[in-house]
């Protein structure tokens, strides 16, 4: 018996999706608005070859290090701006 996941001939793309410069600017603008208003948002980001989601409130934007600090139910966390694919 052969299973689909045992097929070695299949090419699997595990690379992070790339966003255009315009898409990145829109994401940063929406993060800035959410930060200023202190409103919750849902962030979609790429991690371990899968999309992940966080419902959070942005506490801090660090433009130099390209990091955001967000607050969620389990405390504060960090996330790189480059990993974010949608808001």
Q: What is the pLDDT of residue 46?
A: 85
Torsion-angle region of residue 34: left (phi > 0), alpha (psi -120 to 50) or beta? Answer: alpha
Answer yes or no: is 34 within a domain.
yes
Q: Which residue has the tokens 């390209």?
A: 66
Answer yes or no: is 67 within a domain.
yes
CATH number of the domain bearing residue 28: 2.30.30.100
What are the residue ranges in the chain where pLDDT is below 70?
Answer: 1-15
**pTM listed for this prediction:** 0.70
Nearest Cα to Cα of residue 56 among 75, 37, 36: 75
């Amino acid at each position: 018996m052969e299973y689909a996941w045992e097929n070695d001939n299949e090419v699997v793309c595990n690379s992070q999706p790339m966003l255009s410069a315009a898409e990145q600017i829109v994401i940063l603008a929406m993060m800035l608005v959410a930060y200023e208003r202190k409103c919750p948002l849902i962030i979609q980001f790429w991690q371990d070859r899968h999309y992940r989601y966080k419902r959070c409130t942005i506490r801090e934007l660090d433009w130099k290090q390209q990091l955001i600090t967000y607050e969620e139910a389990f405390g504060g966390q960090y996330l790189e701006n480059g990993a974010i694919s949608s808001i």
